[in-house]
């Protein structure tokens, strides 16, 4: 980490949007979660330079509301931290965690548009809508003095390199909290489990031959597809749990062959296995390595997430969410991984909790505008009612969340 960079609060205009579109307006007028989400979507934060610009906007927005922001650099990208509420150790610390980065999209996806209750654009659901509502909740909680609210905005949650995440670095450096909420999309349910990650780069070998006589060779590309199907058919792939009906297995990338008139004798593919809590990634990896003509050249692993649904902070969040949403705030499992595991591995209870929407990483990604307000209000209610809830926890019997089977992405 580099030294904290401090800049004065800003009240300036900032140009956003694509070429030929002027969306300049003062930071001070961006006050509600929908307008803030639209502004964040306008930045193509799959690119480092726009990540920096978006982070500068977030920092300026908070500082314009008299919230001090500490900025760190991690691998050349900005990490923002802000504390409001209780001073020192006067009360519990709740950490609100969000990320600015998105997976790459087409240019038009950074032009936010509204269709009914849907705000559509790259990152609307994962997770700029949630991040915008979270920023508003931080502002809403700034005046209370019973709970310290720590806001952490990172630039690399979507990065492929799971060993060099800024959240992990901050936790290793001593960042702590009593409870963490990462704003990944959960449709206003509380994600208490997430699948683990076992990503593998796999080389498959074959035998070269002339392209006119493929029967004399053994195509490594065709064999690679067969290897993938054999992985899909392994015993672990058919297992289930209370919150998940199966693991996830995806062929993310494949490359083989060098010229058109030759049977390829080598193929490389990347297979992404999201395994269930309780499954052994080492055993899965051993089964794959035992396949003929297969060499696993690199692996990336991330442990599954789990927090007890009877945890008092989880139950307090459930009650707060129930105040602002229809129906019960159910517990869910998340097919996708997140930075929540960074906190859990450090002994900090953490959940995923975010707004309603769909299509993340897809061409029509959207978030419900109404759910952004509900999400903001749920976070604020959670912080404001937490001291009272914890005070009476000693007299309240255990009662966890009802589960939704099947998982959410």
Task: Read off the pLDDT of residues 69-81 as tens digits, 9 standing for 90 and up.
Answer: 999 999 999 999 9
Domain at 196-302: CATH architecture: 2-Layer Sandwich (3.30)
| pLDDT score of 14 more than 50 | no
Share of the chain above pLDDT 70, in %: 85
pLDDT given at position 4? 30
Fold topology of 27-194+305-395:
Aminopeptidase (3.40.630)
Sign of CA dihedral 163, 167, 171, 174: positive
**For residues 51-69, average pLDDT:** 97
For strand 350-353 and strand 179-182, is the pairing parallel, antiparallel, or unpaired?
parallel
Tokens of 87: 């001073």
pLDDT given at position 53? 97
- DSSP-derived secondary structure letter, 232: H
Give per-residue pLDDT as tens, 105-154: 999 999 999 999 999 999 999 999 999 999 999 999 999 999 999 999 99
3-state secondary structure of 358: strand
Cβ pair 224, 256 in contact under 8 A: yes
Q: Where in the chain are the domains?
A: 27-194+305-395, 196-302
Distance CA 279, CA 289 (A): 17
3-state secondary structure of 72: strand
pLDDT given at position 1? 35
| pLDDT score of 275 more than 70 | yes
User: Which of 2-6, 229-233, 249-253 is predicted least confidently?
Assistant: 2-6
pLDDT given at position 329? 63
pLDDT given at position 103? 92
Cβ pair 275, 220 in contact under 8 A: no
- Between 54 and 243, where is the model more confident? 54
Distance of CA 408 to the CA centre of its chain: 12
Query: 226 pairs with which residues across the strands?
Result: none
- DSSP-derived secondary structure letter, 170: H
Phi-psi category of residue 212: left, alpha or beta, with phi > 0 → left and psi -120 to 50 → alpha: alpha
pLDDT given at position 405? 45
| pLDDT score of 249 more than 70 | yes
Neighbours of 50 (CB within 10 A): 18
| pLDDT score of 28 more than 80 | no
| pLDDT score of 398 more than 80 | no
Give the CB-side neighbour count of residue 291, counting CA atoms within 13 A: 24
Tokens of 176: 């702590």
Quote the pTM value: 0.81
Tell me the Cα Rg of the chain: 23
**For residues 59-88, average pLDDT:** 95
| pLDDT score of 29 more than 90 | no
pLDDT confidence bin for 83, thresholds 50/70/90 = very high
| pLDDT score of 7 more than 70 | no
| pLDDT score of 235 more than 90 | yes
Distance CA 253, CA 268 (A): 8
Distance CA 19, CA 10 (A): 25
Share of the chain above pLDDT 90, in %: 71
Helical (H) or strand (E) element with 386: helix 369-391
3-state secondary structure of 61: helix
pLDDT given at position 361? 87
Tokens of 118: 């849907």
What's the whole-number average pLDDT of the chain? 87
**For residues 356-371, average pLDDT:** 93
- Between 11 and 24, where is the model more confident? 24
pLDDT given at position 149? 98
pLDDT given at position 374? 95
Cβ pair 198, 301 in contact under 8 A: yes
**For residues 236-260, average pLDDT:** 94
Distance CA 329, CA 391 (A): 22
């Amino acid at each position: 980490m580099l030294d904290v960079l401090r800049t004065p609060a800003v009240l300036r205009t900032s140009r956003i949007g694509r070429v030929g579109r002027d969306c300049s307006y003062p930071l001070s007028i961006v006050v509600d979660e929908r307008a803030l989400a639209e502004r964040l979507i306008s930045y193509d934060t799959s690119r480092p330079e726009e990540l920096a610009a978006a982070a500068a906007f977030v920092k300026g927005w908070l500082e314009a509301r008299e919230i001090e922001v500490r900025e760190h650099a991690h691998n050349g990208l900005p990490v923002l931290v802000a504390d409001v509420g209780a001073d020192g150790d006067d009360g519990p610390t709740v950490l609100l965690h969000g990320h600015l980065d998105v997976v790459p999209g087409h240019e038009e996806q950074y032009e936010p548009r509204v269709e009914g209750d849907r705000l559509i654009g790259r990152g609307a659901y994962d997770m700029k809508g949630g991040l915008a509502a979270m920023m508003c909740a931080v502002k809403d909680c700034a005046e209370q003095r019973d709970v310290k609210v720590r806001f952490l905005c990172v630039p690399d949650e979507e990065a492929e390199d799971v060993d060099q995440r800024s959240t992990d670095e901050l936790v290793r450096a001593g960042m702590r909290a009593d409870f963490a909420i990462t704003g990944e999309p959960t449709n206003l349910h509380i994600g208490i489990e997430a699948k683990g990650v076992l990503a593998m780069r796999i080389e498959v070998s074959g035998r070269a031959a002339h392209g006119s006589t493929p029967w004399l060779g053994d195509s490594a590309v065709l064999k690679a597809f067969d290897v993938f199907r054999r992985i899909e058919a392994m015993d672990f792939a058919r297992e289930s749990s209370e919150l998940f009906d199966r693991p996830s297995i995806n062929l993310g990338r494949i490359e083989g062959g060098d010229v058109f008139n030759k049977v390829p004798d080598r193929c490389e593919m990347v297979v992404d296995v999201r395994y269930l809590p309780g499954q052994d990634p080492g055993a899965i990896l051993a089964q794959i390595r035992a396949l003929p003509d297969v060499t696993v050249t690199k692996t990336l692993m991330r442990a599954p997430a789990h927090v007890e649904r009877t945890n008092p902070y989880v139950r307090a969040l459930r009650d707060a969410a129930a105040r602002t949403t229809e129906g019960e705030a159910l517990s869910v499992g998340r097919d996708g991984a997140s930075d929540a595991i960074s906190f859990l591995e450090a002994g900090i209870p953490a959940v995923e909790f975010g707004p309603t929407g769909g299509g993340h990483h897809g061409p029509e990604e959207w978030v419900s505008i109404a759910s952004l307000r509900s999400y903001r209000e749920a976070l604020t209610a959670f912080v404001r009612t937490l001291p009272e809830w914890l005070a009476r926890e000693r007299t309240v019997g255990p009662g966890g969340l009802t589960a939704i089977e099947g998982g959410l992405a």
